[in-house]
Amino acid sequence: QSALTQPPSASGSPGQSVTISCTGTSSDVGGYNYVSWYQQHPGKAPKLVIYEVSKRPPGVPDRFSGSKSGNTASLTVSGLQAEDEADYYCNSYAGRRGVFGGGTKLTVL
């Protein structure tokens, strides 16, 4: 199972919006609506911020949103804040085995 493809980095100024893509195949991202996104600050465990493509867990700000088109999912962070600076990973259900994206480092300029 190959890793999902994410850009290694993304950046934006406070208040701006940034979108991170996650490209897979019809066997993972394109085949199921079980795409999730995780935020990881340095030295910390990952935290779920989006699940089932576009749903937010309780406590996650509505500045975080998700979408999917074909084999590509996207995470958008609107109204960037300093605390959004972190690594972001996508994940998709892919049958018996799991698969993550390579991760995107989001920098708030």
Partner 1 sequence: EVQLVESGGGLVQPGGSLRLSCAASGFTFNIYWMHWVRQAPGKGLVWVSRLNSDGSDTSYADSVEGRFTISRDNAKNTLYLQMNSLRAEDTAVYYCARDRYGDSIFDCWGQGTLVTVSS
In the bound state with partner 1, the residue whose beta carbon lies nearer, of 10 and 100, is 100
Q: Is 36 in the site for partner 1 (CB under 8 A)?
A: yes
State how far the Cα of 5 lies from the Cα of 58, in Å rounded to an integer. 27
Q: Is 67 in the site for partner 1 (CB under 8 A)?
A: no
Q: Is 24 helix (H, G, I), strand (E, B) or coil?
A: coil
Q: Is 96 in the site for partner 1 (CB under 8 A)?
A: yes
How far is residue 99 CA from its own chain's centroid?
13
For residue 5, CA distances in Å to 9, 24, 25, 31 come to 12, 7, 10, 16
State how far the Cα of 25 lies from the Cα of 96, in Å rounded to an integer. 15
* Binding-site member from 57, 61, 70, 79 for partner 1 (CB under 8 A): 57
* Binding-site member from 15, 52, 69, 107 for partner 1 (CB under 8 A): 52
**By rule CB under 8 A, what count of residues binds partner 1?**
28
Binding site residues, partner 1, CB under 8 A:
1, 3, 32, 34, 36, 38, 40, 45-48, 51-52, 57, 87, 89, 91-94, 96-103
